Structure 1
Amino acid sequence: MFQDPRTPMVGYRFLVGIMAAGVPNPIDILFKEVSGLKMNRTIEYTNNRVSIANQKQAKTLTLKRGVFQGGSLLMLQNLVFGDAWNTYLVKNHILITTLDDNYLPSQAWLVQNAFLESWEWEGIDASRNDVLIESLSFSYRDLVAVPIPGLPV
């Protein structure tokens, strides 16, 4: 089925792939929410000259998902490096892909050199009947739009 490229994308069909040491993690793909996809630059004004600052600003990418009973590979990675949490950084590349009506990629962004900054679990409440949600926040500086083969640019 042909998709009109002028049709707005929906924000509820997407995949997230976290790659550590260049290896994609096929298990850590199911997320409820992604926020913090952002490209920005600092404009400097000096006398009558306008330029772009050389220094890239750090941004925060937040991924939210339900906590699985068996844990995840990212959790296992955290346990392995747990003693070194305050001294060791694991560089991740994160690929976020939106999907069309046929569940084919329609847009993709690659967050390069992302470092896990915080891991938070929502409150546990005996009076609620909700899924326990964890939030992973990554610090990053580089976001690249990835072209999808076969789609108009």
Structure 2
Amino acid sequence: MSYPSDLLGTFGAGPPLGFRFGVFFFFGGVIPNPLDIRFSKVSGLTSTVNTQTLQEGGQNLYAHRLPTGIQYDNLVLERGLAVGSLLVTEFNATMSLFKFNPSNVLVSLLDESGIPLSSWLFMTAYPVKWSVSPLDADSNQVVIETMELSYQRMQSIRI
């Protein structure tokens, strides 16, 4: 398949594909967790500028829309149910003991060689939701664990 020149990515390989990625948790902000890096799906890579509408006296043609802040969606991570995971231990402490230990999370989009093309850094992330897919005797599906994290802010890193 050929791509127009404006869609060619690094080294002319075409646009990046969304199935090669890694998720890296940095406990205490700096120590990487080498075990909990494989997820099947990542979503919530969204930020929005909130605005407030301000009518100017006597001006009926338009209204001013002023920025009031940035809003981030929760970072949602999905994977097959993991046993013996440090991340599960952290989620369990939050959900059962109301004990929070925020960490930084780096999501990296990778090329076919495993080299990062683009990354998103989520600062001071902590769990806000944890769910497990239904257990169903009539199904032959992998049990999926879904983790949602709220965070202070997100920074896009283009490489």
Normalising by structure 2, what TM-score? 0.79
Give the number of equivalent residue pairs: 142
Partner in structure 2 of residue 102 of structure 1: 113
CA contact (8 A) 1:99 1:105 kept: yes
Alignment CA distance shift 1:108-1:44 (3 Å): same
Greater helix share, 1 or 2? 2
Spell out the pairing of 1:114-125 with structure 2 (5 A cutoff). 114-125=125-136
Residue identity over aligned pairs, in percent, reads 30
Q: Does 1:9 align with 2:16?
A: yes
Distance 2:21 2:33 in 1: 16
2:46 aligned to which of 22, 38, 44 = 38
Partner in structure 2 of residue 151 of structure 1: none
Structure 2: 5+ residue stretches without partners? 1-9, 57-63
Q: Which amino acid aligns with 1:75?
A: V
Structure 1: 5+ residue stretches without partners? 149-153
Normalising by structure 1, what TM-score? 0.82
2:97 aligned to which of 81, 84, 94 = 84
1:112 aligned to which of 120, 123, 134 = 123
Distance 1:93 1:50 in 2: 33
Higher relative contact order (CA 8 A, sep 6+): 1
The RMSD of aligned alpha carbons is: 2.0
